[in-house]
Amino acid sequence: MNPQQAATTHGAPAPETPKAPAGTLPLRERKKLRTRQALIDTALELFGEHGFDGVTLDRLCEAVEVSKRTFFRAFTSKEDVAMAPTQDLWATFLDVLESRPPDGGRLLAVLEETLIGAIDRMPAENWAERALASRRLAARTPSMDAHGLAFCERATREAVATIDRRFALGGTPGGAALRARLAMDMLVAAFHQAMDGWVAQPSGHTRADLARRLRAACAELPGALTATVEPRA
């Protein structure tokens, strides 16, 4: 199952991140992408100004001059549109994982490079600003946090299924699925730490700096696995 099929199976429309430059897409697809981006930008602006609960779906659609029907072709809820920047990132991660050459190597390193590649594929123009606004909004909006956890679980399950289908994992027979799941959980934990530090920093909110923080967090994973503890004096 590819990322778009997985999203549809779980009741959410797949993020329409183009695999080709926008200028090479058919006119209809370019219009759909422009409408989707306008909804994201306007939602983050209105939510940031008035609070997530202070903006109705009717008001958002009116501001973008689209119908609710058009909105629901792209998103399932206000939470969905507000979290689109990071959800698009993980959808792209799944796409890159599906298409990358099945080379050998450590699984965690493969997953790290796949996520770094997905960050690099995010639009250079304003994606970092949108992701920053989205994460700051989620930090004070419980329903967005819950939505993000549910999306993360779906994406993790899809990644594990892709790993199982495309790669042969060494180790104890019968434990491949568990190892794949644990590796994904560690990647997600490292990403959250990287994202939290990235959001908290006073400036430098770029894709490159997020990737740098992700590499630094992933570099600490082996030490976390082998760390020992002693009683404090």
* Higher pLDDT pick, 26 / 171: 26
Quote the tokens at residue 177. 């699925």
**Does residue 46 register a pLDDT over 70?**
yes
State the total domains in the chain.
Answer: 1
Look at residue 120 in the predicted model and tell me its pLDDT. Answer: 97
Predicted confidence (pLDDT) per residue in 95-153, tens digit = 999 999 877 789 999 999 999 999 999 998 899 999 999 999 999 999 999 999 999 99
Q: What angle do CA 221, 226, 232 make, to 5 degrees?
A: 110
**Does residue 88 register a pLDDT over 70?**
yes
Residue 231: inside a domain? no
Look at residue 18 in the predicted model and tell me its pLDDT. Answer: 47
Q: Where in the sequence is the domain holding 210, given as residue range(s)? A: 3-222
Look at residue 219 in the predicted model and tell me its pLDDT. Answer: 98
Q: What is the CATH number of the domain that holds 58?
A: 1.10.357.10
Look at residue 26 in the predicted model and tell me its pLDDT. Answer: 87
Q: Does the predicted TM-score (pTM) go above 0.85?
A: yes
Residue 56: inside a domain? yes
| 58 CB-near residues (< 8 Å, 6+ apart) | 68
